[in-house]
Structure 1
């Protein structure tokens, strides 16, 4: 789906939606559809610095300075569990012991190797994900490695699970992006809620059977074969949003 300038708004220039606190992050911009502006939250978060491990979380929470854009999109049926989100992390001056640095290196390796969903499934491997999730992939499909003027990254469908007996559904399915700028200063991660007509509306709509785990894997493979245009929003349109990112020089 081709972007039409008349139907888009530019968020992030000349003040955007948040009070400047990081001049570099404040100047990063992205083109998003106008309906996202109706309930957009645009906030800047300070560098947390090195953090001791917490008993409440299995992950390091030493997040660098970031800017986070979140918004809810109107949806029929069950409300989404999480809002859409685009996160920019400023990697300036970070030491090698910060937890995001290995994530950047894993992402760069994944972009070089360009493994398909079927290859990752055969190897029982996952794509890199930052911030990390305290859950595994139920869906990791429709993988697309994309170069942009500002950098490069990987898009993929994702649904997470912490237990067996789960099934791909339109309440939990997301389209994820992990990317890095050409100068390795900006790390971008994004999550967009998407739906597809082959999926049930929610997990509650799925009969619980003895074969649900095998059925879930087959459904994930079926999702991988669906055209980009069959998703709402169109996956190609989402990629164009991310491709529109502009960073300060």
Structure 2
């Protein structure tokens, strides 16, 4: 069942999502060679709780195994999604996707960003750029009167035109009082097909794009998903409210990118 949100509910969703953006910005300050993903996880959990929210990922149930042990998903290089924070230091040239979720005042926030650790190869930087562009192409189609397939088509066309793989098995989702609500939001599809989009629908759009084959495998931890060919993958995610003529992006990359610009200066 798809729940349309009121303007008041959308504002509560916005606040939870902006906290995700600020949390990811705190982590952006720390990402460099030698830092471990477990250290990032500790900072994220403390920041989220200090701001009156709880990390929705921590303890999230898994039909294949135990509950998720971290407060953020940290997926490095060929890991696509759901990487578990660990004690392995990040290295120069790595990329790391950090997916973060919050629960505050009864509503969920969910957003992801893929970061470079130091300097990365040009082909990797291009993958990240294209994946982020694809996210915004999808968002352009999250408007009242369009259909769900229009979002997936926009993402798929943009990435496959550059010979990247589009992961099929994991998709975006509705979001509200629960982190995962209806409808599923694939990153592939046909224009003019699927559920009719209506004002007040709130969805998380999250392209998961691979440098090589789109085929994936699950690691032995029963959580981490990686590319079958071990080529890198990128992941960017925004939570949006479907609007009249234009989507309303409830999460934010601005805090993150301010930090990244300052690190470069």
Normalised by the shorter chain, which TM-score bucket? 0.3 to 0.5
Q: Normalized against structure 1, the TM-score is what?
A: 0.36
Q: Normalized against structure 2, the TM-score is what?
A: 0.34
